[in-house]
Amino acid sequence: MATVIDGKAVAQTIRSEIAEEVRALSQKYGKVPGLAVVIVGNRKDSQSYVGMKRKACAELGIKSFDIDLPEQVSESDLIKQVHQLNVNPDVHVCGKKCMQSGILVQLPLPKHINEEKVLSEISLEKDVDGFHPLNIGKLAMKDRDPLFLPCTPKACIELLSRSGVSIKGKKAVVVGRSNIVGLPASLLLLKADATVTIVHSRTTQPESIIREADIVIAAAGQPMMIKGSWIKPGAAVIDVGTNAVDDPTKKSGYRLVGDVDFEEASKVAGWITPVPGGVGPMTVTMLLHNTLEGAKRCFEKNH
């Protein structure tokens, strides 16, 4: 049976480490990191993600700034807001000095706003989501280091390394090639010296490719697509997929499942993450980690 990687427990450990570093920064510089969280409109899922992020900030001593904009806000007004946040100096909040050192624009944005345009206006130094094209570009280049890594792919690598799974020289398969998960996850694995193959919706016979992998990162958004028989015995399986499927036995009428058939795959794999409780809790934690890293650079520069 596979070792089940407990994302919640790993996330808790990392959050304690971050809280400790925030305290140390506060002592050294007399101020704490701040994260501006921008949300446009009233989408329920976005509101809930933003709520989680703001709550997590508060728990670790990071100050979050709430910028809630109406659904109809124009692209140019949103960009103006981003520009203001880019140059936001120290501010005092509840008697505490704080530097707004990270900016997060919750996606998706309403259809009339060009996401790519907005994201590329965020200052590179404050791009804690790691979605700025320059950050992604550097991730794709040899011997270049982006200032920030995108949170979910960073979470996958952190889960592997904290579970003692070595990446160097291993065959890794990433299922999915989105800009926010699949593609950057494959680039991170490559940077860590894995030999990487990407499987996507046009790949023929994905099972034969996945069966070769020592490491599988699944991010296709296809409920339980990857069967136990597709997994190489002893492989490490990181399941990013978060899919709601009907379940009349639940009060909500649904349950969350991953892209991997957990019951089957856990009998074959060496390590596996559950859904929920695997990558999910780690993603927000990596956002906080990025905010801390950005603050350290900001504080040092402005000291």
| Binding-site ranges for ligand NDP (CB under 6 A) | 152, 175-178, 180-182, 199-203, 206, 219-222, 225, 240-243, 279-280, 283
CB closer to ligand NDP, 163 vs 222: 222
CB closer to ligand NDP, 45 vs 143: 45
Q: Is 100 a catalytic site residue?
A: no
Q: Which one of the listed residues 63, 100, 106, 239 is annotated catalytic?
A: 106
C-beta neighbour count of 168 within 10 angstroms: 7
Give residue number: closest CB to ligand NDP.
Answer: 178
What is the smallest separation between the CB atom of 71 and ligand NDP, expressed in angstroms?
A: 22
Q: Is 72 a catalytic site residue?
A: no
Q: Which one of the listed residues 31, 53, 63, 126 is annotated catalytic?
A: 53
CB closer to ligand NDP, 96 vs 255: 255
Q: Give the 3-state secondary structure of the chain.
A: CCEECCHHHHHHHHHHHHHHHHHHHHHHHCCEEEEEEEEECCCHHHHHHHHHHHHHHHHHCCEEEEEEECCCCCHHHHHHHHHHHHCCCEEEECCEEEEEEEEEECCCCCCCCCHHHHHHHCCHHHCCCCCCHHHHHHHHCCCCCCCCCCHHHHHHHHHHHHCCCCCCCCEEEEECCCCCCHHHHHHHHHHCCCEEEEECCCCCCHHHHHCCCCEEEECCCCCCCECHHHCCCCCEEEECCCEEEECCCCCCCEEEECCECHHHHCCCCCEECCCCCCHHHHHHHHHHHHHHHHHHHHHHHHC
What is the smallest separation between the CB atom of 108 and ligand NDP, expressed in angstroms?
A: 10
Q: Is 53 a catalytic site residue?
A: yes
What is the smallest separation between the CB atom of 81 and ligand NDP, expressed in angstroms?
A: 25
What is the smallest separation between the CB atom of 28 and ligand NDP, expressed in angstroms?
A: 32
Q: Which one of the listed residues 31, 100, 126, 129 is annotated catalytic?
A: 129
CB closer to ligand NDP, 266 vs 283: 283
CB closer to ligand NDP, 198 vs 298: 198
What is the smallest separation between the CB atom of 239 and ligand NDP, expressed in angstroms?
A: 9
Catalytic residue annotation: 53, 106, 129
